[in-house]
Amino acid sequence: MAMANNKTQCFTCKKEKITYSCEGCSRRFCFIHLTEHQQILNEEFNHIINDYDQFKQTINEQKQNPQNHSLIRQINEWEINSIEKIQQKAKEYREIVMKSSPTFISDIEKKFIDLTEQIKQIQKENEFNEINLEYLRNQLIEITKELNNSTNISFKEDSQSFINEISIISSIRSKFNKWKQNAITVAGGNEKGEGLHHLFYPHGTFIDKDKNISIADCENHRIVEWKYNAKEGQIIAGGNDKGNRMNQLTGPTDVIFDQQTHSIIIADLGNRRVIQWLNRNQQTLIDNIHCHSLTMDKLGFLYVSDWKKNEVRRWKMGEYNEGVVVAGGNGRGNQFNQLNYPTFIFVDRDQSVYVSDQNNHRVMKWRKDAKEGRVVAGGNGQGANLNELFGPQGIIVDDLGQIYVTDCGNDRIIRWCEGDARGEIVVGGNGKGNQSNQLNNPSGLSFDDEGNLYVVDRLNHRIEKFEIIL
């Protein structure tokens, strides 16, 4: 009977030998090379242990001496540089004052000598009256003021700092912000309809400081306001059937409040116009524009996304000419200088424009005057993974630069930190539905002053409020 051949090829020497399998890499080695392989693994393991020990030492050093933190060193460097600038500026102006002072004092002294001579003359003649005394008294007061309060040189503080201001940007605080996963319906929620207690495919919203909600009630062709805790809304624009007259709207998609004029500004999508309503009086601000969403920056500039031209334009309030392209405007596409069906927009305090680039399944950030944007959320194709988006809509960026996105096709709200490879689910993401922890094709997104999160749950015809957990 022939002996069974149990020999196989060794991964290292490639010879047919009795071999043994490594459970980690599943490769087979002869006895000699298996020993070598295990020695290599032991060395790698020792390296890892050393790295862990070094990391532990680093933690202990930072605990014992927090002054060695890299940010502390940067702050110290900023302090030294700023002090040097201040000292240099102070030295420069001290020299200016010291050079100017002798001439100025000489002029004052000359005036004083002239007055002294007048006093001597009056005293010599021994002829003076109340008028002379009043004159001398006033002249002394004047030159005293002039000496104490120089009129030809003064101290002025500029409102703009000549040193670089610094601030600490931390993602720790907002990272811990959580919201209750079961929402409260604060508007609509009675199925679609035309009544004042109904909504019909709502889209964008605006929430004021009193938590009153203005809603672009798209298929009812109106803007309705739901007061805080109200059971039904009231019409504040439109509501006169679908149409293009000044008192009508057709499929409005967004609404904002202009603090300067105390009016509302509406993206009247179906009529291809941006229209302003002030106490039931209307005027068209911009026409012939496929407007989807609106926003205003802190300087009062108006921004509008045009889904057909695949661009965002900015207008100075009151000057509605062609506007200025601030994002896109290079045709439909997925390049960094292009957009494909832009929807909601957000502008931060630096006038950077964030755009929900719906059909590219990404959020783009365009810095002021930039020629192209960069992807700050999504951009990995349509999908439901945490590094993907599906038709993004509403967008808000908080003071710490964290981006909140309505991930419409995935029925969830995602929070994304710029530079991160993936986001995290804030609310929703429990499948499409109408339960209190579910959404159905959400669109608009808002926060109130307390940090509560409001979501336009479009296909459920309701506005959902997710309360912040303090």
Q: For 285-311, what is each residue's pLDDT tens digit?
A: 999 999 999 999 988 899 999 999 999
Structure tokens at 131: 């008028």
- pLDDT of 100 reads 67
- pLDDT of 170 reads 46
Average pLDDT, the chain: 87
* Confidence band of 354 (pLDDT split at 50, 70, 90): very high
Structure tokens at 386: 């945490």
- pLDDT of 264 reads 95
| pLDDT single digits (tens) 417-441 | 888 889 999 999 999 999 999 999 9
Eight-class DSSP state of 4? P
pLDDT at 168 over 60: no
- pLDDT of 135 reads 74
Which has more pLDDT, 124 or 242? 242
| pLDDT single digits (tens) 174-183 | 456 899 999 9
CB count within 10 Å of CB 369 equals 8
- Per mean pLDDT, which range of 265-269, 321-325, 382-386 is the poorest? 321-325
Per-residue b or e along 197-230, where b marks 16 or more CB atoms closer than 10 Å to that residue's CB: ebbbbbbbbbbeeebbbbbbbbbbbbbbbbeeee
Asked if 246 and 255 count as a contact pair (C-beta separation under 8 A), the reply is: no
Fold for domain 178-469? Neuraminidase (2.120.10)
- pLDDT of 174 reads 46
Maximum alpha-carbon separation in the chain:
155
| Whole-angstrom distance, CA of residue 77 vs CA of residue 86 | 14
SS3 content of the chain, % helix, strand, coil (to 5): 30, 35, 40
Which range of 64-68, 73-77, 185-189, 347-351 scores highest in mean pLDDT? It is 185-189
pLDDT at 3 over 70: no
pLDDT at 149 over 80: no
Work out the average pLDDT over 379-404: 94
- pLDDT of 4 reads 43
pLDDT at 151 over 70: no
Work out the average pLDDT over 147-164: 60
- SS3 category, 290: coil
pLDDT at 269 over 80: yes
Identify any residues that bridge with 324 across adjacent strands, giving them in sequence order: 314
Cα 463 to its chain centre, rounded Å, is 23
* Confidence band of 284 (pLDDT split at 50, 70, 90): very high
Structure tokens at 141: 């007061």
* Confidence band of 129 (pLDDT split at 50, 70, 90): confident
* Confidence band of 171 (pLDDT split at 50, 70, 90): very low
| Model pTM score | 0.65
Which has more pLDDT, 382 or 106? 382
| % of the chain surpassing 70 pLDDT | 90
Eight-class DSSP state of 376? E
Q: Give the full edge-to-edge strand order of the sheet including 353-357.
A: 342-347, 353-357, 362-366, 374-378
| % of the chain surpassing 90 pLDDT | 56
- pLDDT of 68 reads 64
Domain boundaries, the chain: 8-63, 82-168, 178-469
Work out the average pLDDT over 234-251: 95
Residue carrying structure tokens 């010291």: 98
- pLDDT of 425 reads 95
Structure tokens at 397: 């960026």
- pLDDT of 272 reads 97
- SS3 category, 452: coil
- List Cβ neighbours of 176 (8 Å cut-off, separation of 6 or more): none
| pLDDT single digits (tens) 14-71 | 888 888 888 888 888 898 898 989 898 888 888 888 888 888 787 777 777 766 667 7
Cα 136 to its chain centre, rounded Å, is 66
pLDDT at 155 over 80: no
Between 70-125 and 130-148, two packed helices, what is the crossing angle to 10 degrees? Answer: 160
Residue carrying structure tokens 């070598």: 36
